[in-house]
Amino acid sequence: NEFRRQTDARRAPAYEHLRRTLQHAIENGELTAGQALPGERELGKLLDLSRVTVRKAIAGLVGDGLLLQRQGAGTFVAERIVKSFSKLTSFTDDLRARGLDPKSVFLERAIGEVTPDEAMALNLSPGAQVVRYYRLRTAGDQALALERTVVPQSVLADPELVVNSLYDAFDRLGLRPTRALQRLRAIAFDAEQARLMNLAEGSPGLFIERRTFLDDGRVVEYTRSFYRGDAYDFVAELQSE
Ligand code: 16G
C-alpha cells in the first residue's frame, strides 16, 4: 500500500526519518563497515536536529545491529563478526578480541537431573546432576545469541560460578578444554526466541551444537547456541586430504 507508506513516512517523527536515512546509507554502501560516525552533537549540528533525536535514531540502529557503540571510541557501522570454525574460542573471547564488551543475561540458571539426551551428550549415567544455563548473549545494546548450556555438576559444583563467561569459570577452576565437536545448521528464530533477541520472527540464525572435552576425555559442556545469522561469518582453513 504505497500511499499509506508515503503518508506514514511523512508523519514519522524526526528520529525515525534519520534512522531510515542512515539505514539506507548503510545498505547502499554510502556508509561502509567499520566506518566511524560523527559524534551525536556534530551530527545534530550537521543535520539541524536535536541531540535527543540523533541519539534515538542511533539507539534504534544499534538495536538492529547496523551500528555498534564502542566504549569511549564512538559509533561505527557494524562489521560482521568473523569467527573461526576450527578454533576452540568462547563467545567472550571472540567479542573481546574486537574491543567489544560481552555480557550474559541469565534466563535460566539451575541444577537438575540429567535428561537421557543430555546424558548421551555428556557421557553421564542416568540420575547424574547437571547445571543448566539459558543465556542471552549481548555486546553493548545488541543481542547476538541465545545459548543453552549443560555442564555436569561434578565439573561445576555451583551454578553461580559462571558470572558472564563459562570459559572464564573453567579457567578459574583450572580446567583446560582442549577439543570440541561442533555441528552447525541454519534455522529461523521462532516467536519466543525472536522476542528475546529483539528480532522479527523467522529471522535467520545459525544453530551450533558443541560438546567440549578435557584432555582426560571428560565432557565439560554440551551447548546449543543460536547465533544471529546476519551478524556472523564462520570461516575455516581447509586442507587437502
Ligand atoms: C561459544 C560456544 C559455546 C560456549 C560459549 C562460551 C560457539 C559456536 N559456541 O558461544 O559452545 O559455551 O562460547 O562462552 O562458539 P562464554 O565463555 O562467553 O560463556
Q: Which pLDDT tens digit goes with each residue over 138-153? A: 998 789 999 999 999 9
Q: pLDDT tens for residues 120-133?
A: 999 999 999 999 99
Please report the atom of ligand 1 found closest to the CA of residue 169: 17
> Which spans in 76-187 are helix H?
91-96, 116-122, 166-172
- Higher pLDDT among residues 98 and 35, named by residue: 35
3-state secondary structure (DSSP) of residue 37: coil
Residues 6+ apart with CB under 8 A from 152: 114, 122, 124, 128, 129, 130, 131, 218, 219, 220
> Within this chain, do residues 66 and 92 fall inside the same structural domain, yes or no?
no
> Within this chain, do residues 86 and 61 fall inside the same structural domain, yes or no?
no
Provide the pLDDT for residue 177.
97
What pLDDT band is residue 72 in, cutting at 50, 70 and 90? confident
Q: Which domain holds residue 200?
A: 81-235
Provide the pLDDT for residue 80.
86
> Within this chain, do residues 85 and 204 fall inside the same structural domain, yes or no?
yes
Gap between the Cα atoms of 119 and 100, Å rounded: 35
Number of domains observed in the structure of the chain: 2
Q: Considering only CA atoms, which of 171, 169, 166 is closest in space to residue 222?
A: 166
Is residue 240 assigned to a domain?
no
Cβ of 94 closer than 6 Å to ligand 1, yes or no, is no
Choosing from 33, 51, 77, the residue where a domain stops is 77
Choosing from 77, 99, 130, the residue where a domain stops is 77
pLDDT > 90? residue 7:
no
> Within this chain, do residues 72 and 115 fall inside the same structural domain, yes or no?
no
> Within this chain, do residues 67 and 89 fall inside the same structural domain, yes or no?
no
> Within this chain, do residues 225 and 120 fall inside the same structural domain, yes or no?
yes
Q: pLDDT tens for residues 184-233?
A: 999 999 999 999 999 999 999 999 999 999 999 999 999 999 999 989 99
Is residue 241 assigned to a domain?
no
Provide the pLDDT for residue 16.
92
Find the CATH number of the domain harbouring 51: 1.10.10.10
> Within this chain, do residues 71 and 89 fall inside the same structural domain, yes or no?
no
Query: 91 C-alpha vs ligand 1 centroid, how far in Å?
Result: 5
Ligand 1: which of 106, 164, 211, 223 to mutate, most ligand atoms within 8 Å of CB?
223
Q: Considering only CA atoms, which of 39, 46, 115, 121 is closest in space to residue 75?
A: 39
Query: 90 C-alpha vs ligand 1 centroid, how far in Å?
Result: 4
Give the DSSP letter string of 162-196: -SS-HHHHHHHTT--EEEEEEEEEEEE--HHHHHH
What pTM, to 2 d.p., does this model score?
0.82
Q: Whose CA is nearest to atom 4 of ligand 1?
A: 90
Cβ of 91 closer than 6 Å to ligand 1, yes or no, is yes
Q: For residue 111, report the phi and psi dihedrals to the nearest 5 degrees.
A: -100, 145
> Within this chain, do residues 86 and 200 fall inside the same structural domain, yes or no?
yes
> Within this chain, do residues 113 and 188 fall inside the same structural domain, yes or no?
yes
* Buried/exposed 54-85: b ≥16 CB within 10 Å, e otherwise: bebbbebbbebbbbbbeeeeebbbbeebebee
> Within this chain, do residues 104 and 25 fall inside the same structural domain, yes or no?
no
> Within this chain, do residues 66 and 100 fall inside the same structural domain, yes or no?
no
> Within this chain, do residues 90 and 182 fall inside the same structural domain, yes or no?
yes
Provide the pLDDT for residue 220.
98
Find the CATH number of the domain harbouring 209: 3.40.1410.10
Ligand 1: which of 225, 228, 232, 234 to mutate, most ligand atoms within 8 Å of CB?
225
Please report the atom of ligand 1 found closest to the CA of residue 184: 8
Query: 92 C-alpha vs ligand 1 centroid, how far in Å?
Result: 7
Burial status of residue 88 (CB atoms within 10 A of its CB: 0-12, 13-18, 19 or more): middle
pLDDT > 80? residue 4:
no
What pLDDT band is residue 71 in, cutting at 50, 70 and 90? confident
pLDDT > 60? residue 5:
no
Q: Are strands 74-77 and 81-84 parallel, antiparallel or unpaired?
A: unpaired
Q: Whose CA is nearest to atom 8 of ligand 1?
A: 208
Cβ of 135 closer than 6 Å to ligand 1, yes or no, is no
Choosing from 15, 50, 77, the residue where a domain stops is 77
Cβ of 165 closer than 6 Å to ligand 1, yes or no, is yes
Q: Considering only CA atoms, which of 94, 117, 89, 118 is closest in space to residue 180?
A: 89
- The set of cell numbers assigned to 127 is 540420575
